[in-house]
A and B are shown apart, each in its own frame.
Chain A
């Protein structure tokens, strides 16, 4: 039998390299799995922050030296409030942006 390919669709998938899943596999379907969502807006890192419409480079992540990760826009919004005292929302240490990995 001879098969002629008439159309094909390329399907690609991307993830931010957060360094948390070493093997880059899908997160477990455990509902409590919170490692892959932004702690501020609760949207997956691969989604975008609530003020953006498209995920990707326009809505990047930000890494702290404390190793915590957020959507950059979410974190900057928090750091911009007086209530934040410029601390990481997770551990209350002074927020210091780390050099981006990758």
Chain B
């Protein structure tokens, strides 16, 4: 039997037998080389209470080549693309070793959620948010966990606005008062959210970005 198939089958079985790690690996279709992993968000982080799904593709020359993983669940984290789920982690690239397994790699992703590395970002905007105001970043990450990863808690005052399933301002990690101020100048809300997010209009940065600068961007 194909070496890759044998090893992958064994890894899937090992993960099923392991009841303690709470890491799950499932087939997506009939192929054992396209899988879906999932794990709980680590305790004591903004991801706590959520369950995070990861798309797994086993390359032809596995385990001599790293497994391909990306988040299916949307995650707000400096090293994970908020748009595509792409992950910046050394062991998925040049620090891969054939003794790593699907389970150990998923555990590494879980621990990546515990220790963001904003100096080597996958998502520059999220990384800027993190370095500007960690508290505000964590609030947004928690909101994403709640909205996308089935995390707990509805925080007061952050309930979904009428007509939309969730709060676009909280998703973007912005303050309602800031968005409404520019909205009241007659700009479209989505446009305001987009511009303020790109300008990283948060925390101490707010004082450094003039209204003229924002309006200039809004008029583009």
B7 touches which of A41, A51, A81 (Cβ 8 Å) = A41
Q: Give the distance in Å from the alpha carbon of A43 to the alpha carbon of B18 in the complex.
A: 19
The size class of the interface chain B forms with chain A is 10 to 19
Find the A residue at minimum CB distance from B20. Answer: A32
Footprint of A on B, CB under 8 Å? Answer: 2-3, 6-7, 10-11, 14, 17-18, 63-65, 94, 96-99
CA distance A16 to B98 in the complex (A): 22
Those 7 A-B pairs whose CB atoms lie nearest each other, nearest first: A50-B3, A39-B99, A89-B97, A89-B99, A40-B98, A42-B7, A89-B98
Q: Is the CB of B63 within 8 A of A50?
A: no
Known contacts A31-B14, A31-B18, A83-B65; A41 and B96 CB within 8 A of each other: no
Interface size on A, residues (CB 8 A): 18
Any B CB within 8 A of the CB of A101: no
B157 to chain A, nearest CB (A): 47
**B148 to nearest A CB, angstroms?**
33
Question: Which residues from chain A sit less than 8 Å from chain B, CB to CB?
Answer: 31-32, 39-43, 49-51, 74, 77-78, 81, 83, 89-90, 92
Name the one of A31, A32, A39, A50 contacting B98, with C-beta atoms under 8 angstroms: A39
Report B-chain residues with C-beta under 8 Å of the C-beta of A77: 64
Q: Please, which residues of chain A bring their CB within 8 A of the CB of B6?
A: 41-43, 50
With A31-B17, A31-B18, A51-B3 known as contacts, the answer to whether A42 contacts B64 (CB < 8 A) is no
Question: What residues on B are CB-neighbors of A43 within 8 Å?
Answer: 6
Alpha-carbon separation in the docked complex, A31 to B17 (Å): 8
Our pick among B2, B18, B94 for the contact of A83 (Cβ within 8 Å) is B94
B10 CB contacts on chain A under 8 angstroms? 42
In the docked arrangement, what's the CA distance between A31 and B10, Å? Answer: 11
A42-B10, A50-B2, A77-B64 given. 8 additional CB < 8 A pairs? A32-B18, A41-B7, A42-B6, A42-B11, A50-B3, A50-B6, A83-B64, A90-B99
Q: Is the CB of A41 within 8 A of B64?
A: no
In the bound complex, do residue A78 and residue B18 qualify as a contact, i.e. CB atoms below 8 Å apart? Answer: no
